[in-house]
């Protein structure tokens, strides 16, 4: 039986949707690595260290969660961590095509690792980090979408503070 799974992402920034997926994954996998990726193709607002620190704070108190950052292919990282499962969040149909394509590619690269899709609660299914960054840049309150410390970090980052 597989005990360890990885939930990779950019988490730029972490949202209540991400946190919901983490809690759902812990119901199935008692050992969960939340892996903050160094993705050279994305242009994150927050540095890897800032994203790592936010994820660490958001998951403190959740038994079985380890937060790490990683570079390279997720499947290779999973192998190094002796994880046989990669968790991916699926919010809306718009996520499906990209996630399906990525899952099939990962299956070809690493047939020994399973990809499992989890859906967040409906109330979080439309939240995206990109949308929240746009809303925050226009002064929107984000307390329904992210923890207070993330909202403050977004406001500070976007104001140049």
Question: Consecutive 10-residue runs of the chain (161 residues): their mean pLDDT?
Answer: 89 96 96 93 92 98 97 95 94 78 91 94 85 90 95 90 60
- Determine phi and psi for 65, rounding to 5 degrees: -100, 130
With respect to CATH, is domain 4-159 assigned 3.40.50.620?
yes
pLDDT at 97: 82
On the 0-12 / 13-18 / 19+ scale of CB atoms within 10 A, 132 is: buried
Choose among 63, 22, 68: nearest CA to 49: 68
Distance between CA atoms of residues 44 and 27, nearest Å: 30
pLDDT at 126: 82
pLDDT at 161: 60
pLDDT at 26: 97
Catalytic residues: 18, 42, 91, 129
Per residue in 128-148, pLDDT (tens digit) is 888 899 999 998 999 999 999
pLDDT at 40: 76
């Amino acid at each position: 039986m597989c005990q360890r799974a990885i939930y990779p992402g950019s988490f730029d920034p972490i949202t209540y949707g991400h946190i919901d997926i983490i809690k759902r994954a812990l119901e199935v996998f008692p050992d969960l690595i939340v892996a903050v990726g160094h993705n050279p193709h994305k242009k994150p607002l927050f540095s890897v260290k800032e994203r790592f620190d936010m994820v660490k704070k958001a998951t403190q108190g959740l038994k079985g969660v380890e937060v790490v950052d990683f570079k390279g292919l997720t499947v290779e990282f999973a192998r190094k961590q002796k994880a046989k499962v990669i968790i991916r969040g699926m919010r809306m149909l718009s996520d499906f095509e990209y996630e399906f394509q990525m899952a099939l590619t990962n299956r070809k690269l690493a047939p020994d690792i399973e990809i499992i899709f989890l859906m967040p609660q409906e109330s979080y299914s439309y939240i995206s980090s990109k949308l929240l960054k746009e809303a925050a840049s226009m002064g929107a309150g984000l307390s329904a979408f992210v923890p207070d410390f993330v909202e403050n970090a977004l406001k500070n980052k976007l104001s140049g503070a």
